Chains A and B, each alone.
Chain A
Amino acid sequence: MTDTRRARYVALFATETRTLLASARRALAGWREQPEEAAPAEEVFRVLHTIKGMAASLEFNALAEHVHAAEGALAGVRSGERAADHWFLAALEETLDALAVESDAVVAAETTPRGAAAPAARIVRVDSDRLDALLAELGGLVTARQELERRAEADSLSPIGRAAIKLARRLDRLQDRILAVRLAPFGELLERVPPMIRDLARQLGKDVTVEVQGEGIEVDRAILDRLGEPLLHLLRNAVDHGLETPEARRAAGKAAAGRITVAARQDRNVVELEVRDDGHGIDREAVVAKAIERGALEAGAHLDDEDLLAILARPGFSTAAQVTDVSGRGVGLDAVLARMREVGATVSLATTPGAGTTFTIRMPTRLGIVRALVTRVGEEPYVLPLTHVTELAAWDAASSEVHQGRNMIRIRDALIPVVDLRRLVQFRGTAPPVRRPAVIMASQGRRMALLADAVEGQVDAVVQPLDRPQRLPRWITGATILEDGQPALMLDLASVI
């Protein structure tokens, strides 16, 4: 086998083994719920068998032996001699983890360059500072490109104009390529999840099945690197406070093993990471009672999921021991949210009594540059990421309706609450125009119509993080420089909706 050909097989082995082990874990999760079912055993067997064949073909003999042994342990269950009891399934899960680690190790041993003798490595290690410097440089370039393009479009027939447009297109692609260099697969983070949860479960005496999805989805490495710690927080909370004890679960008519799912999903330029447990949900009444006691809420208040998260995320609130005792969320949710905001991510919560809790982290795939809408209030520009913008509509006093004391705008058949950007940013200048653009935004099933004075178009905004003054509202997420050199604030209004 030539070196190049072998390198190709090893790469196939690496990705296919990962996919197969993920499929075995899914089968195992189903198996736990229905221990009598034969299909999961067959699927795990197929996975082991296939990995064994691949490992043997590449002469990863120790690995092939280990997989063969695992296959043997499964034989008794497949033939019906042995029951797939809790201990068997727990041992099998550990075997799958161990095989994942071992196969990664044999691949790494082969693909890490060892001097000139190693097969042509196609991976270069780069200091992340250099990548950051490249990104910073790119920021200036993007701004310059937009100005170039705007001017060239006014002069698109001249040779210079045409050359400038060509150059702008090329710069576009360069921007894409540079950003792609920084992308890393979620698998790097997700593969640490099952061992992490099992550790927690052991410490806390819980029985947990883990499922991870979306290993192949890519995000900027800077975002991925910052997700580890918050993810651990969320998982710890899910195992500790979210899931019931095996006894309590049985009493509630659920499978003894709790289930935790960590799933990454991509929707164009946004990636969602979902951490879901099937535990008892957050005890809303207990949180309300606690908040009233602390004077954070008025008596008789009702909380929806969004309000609940806001309360739980108050510094110091969620760590309060009493709340934890009555099933609150433990450590430092405020810290989780703060870390996520740093990378432009938002966190949302959905919880159902008796059925479980889901945290969803929404983040941009690419750090630093977002497609955004430039709006204006008076002479002041404000930039809105397109993430939550669904459409634009025209507003004037005649099209506005008042319902329950709130200004609403009718878009087709729906009434959407109107928020005036002038009020939000406390603009005190000239009177607003009579007809104003309404930017319709949606987040988590709710909508809002944001009134600006003017909408000027879309840009790729290079976001500079702000040194945040103490009382800056948290929906001001950064600043950017517009094409004409004017600075503008970046507003992420998902939290206002």
Chain B
Amino acid sequence: MPHRILICDDAIFMRTMIADILTSGGYEIAGEAESGLQAVERYRELKPDLVTMDIVMPDMGGIDAVKAIVAEDPSARILMCSAMGQQALVVEAVQAGAKDFVVKPFQPARVLEAVQRVLSA
């Protein structure tokens, strides 16, 4: 059975792009969320194998969402998606419990590599 992934990003554009990359790698899209708050709710409801998490989102940012998800499920596997120049935030996210990160603009090979790394860790 393919791994199920929850995509969290406030831009439909980014969600579509990530979904295309993941589907091409044989993964199943469990669901999508467009804010941190929604990410936490969807995680609870879908129990996905992996979450891709944008950092800048409305309502609740990605880092707070990571904290909330990990607090409920310490084994959660979360991959941060950050823009260039957000190193400090990425470090904060990893401290909060995120497993790895990829940098926008996405290169499909890099994204799939990172996903595989997190899933097999």
Contacts and interface: CB of A to CB of B under 8 A. Distances in A.
B13 A13 contact: yes
A294 interface: no
A46 interface: yes
B96 to A, nearest CB: 19
A49 B13 CA distance: 13
Interface in B1-46: 10-14, 16-17, 20
Contacts of B105: 53, 56-57, 59
B17 A46 contact: no
Contacts of A320: none
Q: Secondary structure at chain A's binding surface: helix, strand, loop or mixed?
A: helix
A57 B104 contact: yes
A103 B121 CA distance: 41
Contact of A49 (B12, B16, B20, B56): B56
B16 A53 contact: no
Interface string B67-85: 0000000000000000111
Contacts of B13: 9, 12-13, 16, 54, 57
Contacts of B10: 46, 50
Nearest to B82: A53
A57 B10 CA distance: 15
Contacts of A68: 85
Nearest to A23: B58
Interface string B95-121: 000000000111000000000000000
A56 B104 contact: yes
A5 interface: yes
Interface residues of A, number: 19
A147 interface: no
B106 A57 contact: yes
A336 to B, nearest CB: 38
B94 interface: no
A55 to B, nearest CB: 9
B20 A5 contact: yes
B58 A49 contact: no
Nearest to A43: B58
A9 B17 CA distance: 8
Nearest to A14: B13
Contacts of B106: 57
Contacts of A46: 10, 56-58
A59 B106 CA distance: 11
A45 interface: yes
A350 B109 CA distance: 59
B11 A50 contact: yes
A50 B10 CA distance: 8
A52 interface: yes
Nearest to B81: A53
A20 B57 CA distance: 12
A49 B85 CA distance: 11
Nearest to A17: B13
Contacts of B56: 45-46, 49-50
Contacts of B12: 12, 16
A54 B16 contact: no
Interface in A55-114: 56-57, 59, 68
B95 to A, nearest CB: 21
Of A8, A9, A16, A50, the most chain B CB neighbours within 10 A belong to A50
Contacts of A53: 11, 14, 83, 104-105
A432 to B, nearest CB: 61
Given A8-B16, A57-B14, A57-B17, 5 more contacts: A5-B20, A16-B13, A56-B84, A56-B105, A59-B105
Interface of B: 10-14, 16-17, 20, 56-58, 83-85, 104-106
Interface of A: 5, 8-9, 12-13, 16, 20, 43, 45-46, 49-50, 52-54, 56-57, 59, 68
13 contacts: A12-B13, A13-B13, A16-B11, A16-B12, A45-B56, A50-B14, A50-B56, A53-B104, A53-B105, A56-B83, A57-B13, A57-B104, A57-B106
Please provide the 4 A-B residue pairs with the shortest distance between their CB atoms, ordered closest to farther.
A57-B105, A56-B105, A12-B13, A53-B104
